[in-house]
Homo-oligomer: A and B are copies of this chain.
C-alpha cells in the first residue's frame, strides 16, 4: 500500500501547446508502481484551459471544485464540483485498418 497526499506532491506548470493557466501534480504514476493507471491533480486558473487532446485509453475526471466548460466530441457541458466526466476508450487512432 502506497499513500501520498496532494500536499506532498510537487506541482508543475503545464507548458504544452494549447494549455493556459494549468498546473498539475502527478499523484500516481509508473514511478510509484502504477502500471495501468495514472492519477493527476490539475488546477486550472480562471480563464485558463487545458489543450484539446485525444487518448486511446479510458479517461475519468472528477471535478473537486470550481466551474468549467468541458468539450468532448461535438458536445460542450458545464461541469462543477462533484461532477464526473468519462471518455470512452477509442479505437487505436493511429490504426491503419
A residues neighboring B (CB under 8 Å): 1-7, 27-28, 32-37, 39, 57-58, 60, 62, 64, 70, 72-73, 75, 77, 79, 82-89
- Complex contact A33–B84 (CB within 8 A): no
Assembled-state Cα–Cα distance A6/B82 (Å): 5
In the bound complex, what is the Cα–Cα distance between A94 and B78 (angstroms)? 44
User: Which of A73, A77, A82 is the most central at the interface, judged by chain B CB atoms within 10 Å of its CB?
Assistant: A82
Residues of B contacting A33 in the complex (Cβ-Cβ under 8 angstroms): 86, 88
Pick from B27, B36, B84: contact of A3, CB under 8 Å: B84
6 contacts between A and B (CB under 8 A): A1-B72, A1-B86, A3-B85, A36-B58, A37-B60, A39-B60
For residue A86, which residue of chain B has the nearest CB?
B2
